[in-house]
Amino acid sequence: MSLRIFGVLGAGALLVIVLGSTVVAADGPGGGHRLTVVERAETDTVVDLGATGDSIGDLLAFGNPIYDASNTHQVGRDQGSCIRTNPGVSWECTWTTIVPGGSLTVEGPFNDNGSDTQLAITGGTGTYRNARGQMTLHARNAQGSEYDFRFQTIGG
């Protein structure tokens, strides 16, 4: 990811974190801040907990590397889980994305068909301690092996 890290510091302040020599800063709509990173889904594991096969209650667990927006430098990791709520259609997920300066937590849907979804930013730590807003989950390929996490946050 060509590193875009924007921290929410409250009162509209903008923090830009520099990794290596790449810095990209931009305010989002309505004065919010944006952070775009790429997840490489390397550890996703489905645990069949309900009826045999794809069924309500199955669990998807993961802990994957997070890269900058250009998908070239690892800048963090994520960890979380999803519960199957609509077999063959979608999961309900909660996870934490850990990047320089802190972490962001999200909750919301993950669609089997690869379509974009919006997840709620439910909180953060460190630089992101006052974060709220939404994250767009976007599949980068048909295999579902890489995803853009596009955070749009507003200070608290």
pLDDT in tens, 72-117: 999 999 999 999 999 999 999 999 999 999 999 999 999 999 999 9
Residue carrying structure tokens 């802190």:
102
Per-residue model confidence as pLDDT tens digits over 34-60: 999 999 999 999 999 989 999 999 999
Q: How many CB atoms lie within 10 A of CB 50?
A: 14
CATH superfamily of 6-154: Allene oxide cyclase-like (2.40.480.10)
> Mean pLDDT across the stretch 132-149?
96
| Structure confidence at residue 31 (pLDDT) | 59
Per-residue model confidence as pLDDT tens digits over 5-38: 333 333 333 333 333 323 233 455 555 789 999 9
Geometric angle at alpha carbon 81, from 52 and 59, rounded to 5°: 5
Residue carrying structure tokens 């439910």:
122
| Structure confidence at residue 61 (pLDDT) | 98
| Structure confidence at residue 14 (pLDDT) | 34
Q: For the chain, how are helix, strand and coil distributed in percent, rounded to 5?
A: 0, 55, 40
Closest CA to 104 of 35, 47, 46, 12: 35
> Mean pLDDT across the stretch 135-140?
98
What values do phi and psi take at 31, rounded to 5?
85, 5
Across 72-109, b (16+ Cβ under 10 Å) vs e yields eeebbbbebbbebeebeebbebebbbbbebbbbbbebb
Residue 155 — pLDDT band, cuts 50, 70, 90? low
